[in-house]
A = this chain, B = another copy of it.
Amino acid sequence: MARGSTRPTSRDVAQAAGVSQAAVSLVLGDKWRGRVSQATAERVREAARDLGYRPNLAARNLRLGHTRTVLLVVPALTTEFFAGVYTGAARIAAEHGFGVVLYPSPEGIGPARDPFASAQAALDGVIASSMAADALTAIRGEALPLVMLDSDPDGSLGAATVNLDIADGIRQAAQHLLSLGHRHFLHLAADVPSWTFEVRAQELAARLAEVPDTTVRTARSPISIEGALAAAEAALSAPGARPTAVICDDDQLAAGTYKAARRLGLHIPDDLSVTGVDDLALATAMDPELTTVHLNAELFGERGMRALLAVLEDRTPESGNIPVQLMVRSSTAPPR
């Protein structure tokens, strides 16, 4: 359609079908039983089809007072993890007549960007990852129904939370390495202020404190393979006894650790065991395949959306963490 010609409204359809605008709204809104004859309804539908009528959503949203649209706020989409979260959330949303708009807190645009300026859509609610720190304050200002993903359940007052059982995943990873005989660890931690990473550190510290003669170094890195390479290389070549196992906060950090090991001439898993968290496609693409904590991203998204629907309907969201599972592969072995 040319830019000059304006798109048809329900009034145009009404005129073409020889009925009132109200009749069009009734028919197209499927509320015509007992109000409009079968024949007239068909005439209206035909006119709408002929004109290529599409309802003006701004007008509908204004009239209805809601949009059936929710915003999913995530950090920059550098892995497929949040794609899975989106897919799960979108599936549940679609089942309930909702749409999901994705807002990846964009790198390089600066923290001042307001997600609601981006989503000019009026919104009914928000699901936000606690990793999207930049966007979080703006979200609070909107006073919209909110569900937080992987956020401190106690600290996020008012908002419902849906969490993966990350602590259990770290517990499984630590237990696995301990039972292989490892005692000297490097924790390669994500340098991102988010509860989901804090809990990893806490759980690891707690678990290792239970076993005598264990040591743990901590290195911090931004979440990227290159960043992790630098951090891991520095930490592994630091003076003192070298750790025999590296517990990484996610798979990207583990990939960086692989690169560091190659540079340092260390063989995985013989010289160094490595674990990750996420179970990205990357994990099984690497050589050796990575032992990592599998997270069910789609289920995470589904649970997030269900929780938001519950909030919107004034129900209490389902509680309970989402279970995770350590996938034992070839990157872990007894220390030499």
Contacts and interface: CB of A to CB of B under 8 A. Distances in A.
Given A78-B80, A78-B83, A62 B56 contact: yes
A94 interface: yes
Contacts of A117: 94, 99
Interface residues of A, number: 65
A22 interface: no
A67 B120 contact: yes
B102 A104 contact: yes
Contacts of A262: 287
Total identical chains: 2
Interface stretch (A24-32, A85-93, A126-134): A85-93
Contacts of A179: none
A119 B101 contact: yes
Contact of A106 (B91, B120, B142, B255): B91
B87 A107 contact: yes
A58 B142 CA distance: 15
Interface in A197-250: 224-226
Contacts of A58: 58-59, 61-62, 67, 122
16 contacts: A3-B145, A54-B142, A58-B58, A58-B122, A61-B120, A68-B120, A76-B87, A77-B80, A87-B108, A90-B109, A91-B106, A94-B113, A99-B118, A258-B285, A259-B285, A287-B287
Interface of A: 1, 3, 7, 52, 54, 56-59, 61-62, 67-69, 76-80, 82-83, 86-87, 90-91, 93-94, 99-104, 106-109, 113, 117-122, 141-143, 145, 224-226, 252, 255-256, 258-259, 262, 281-282, 284-287, 298, 314
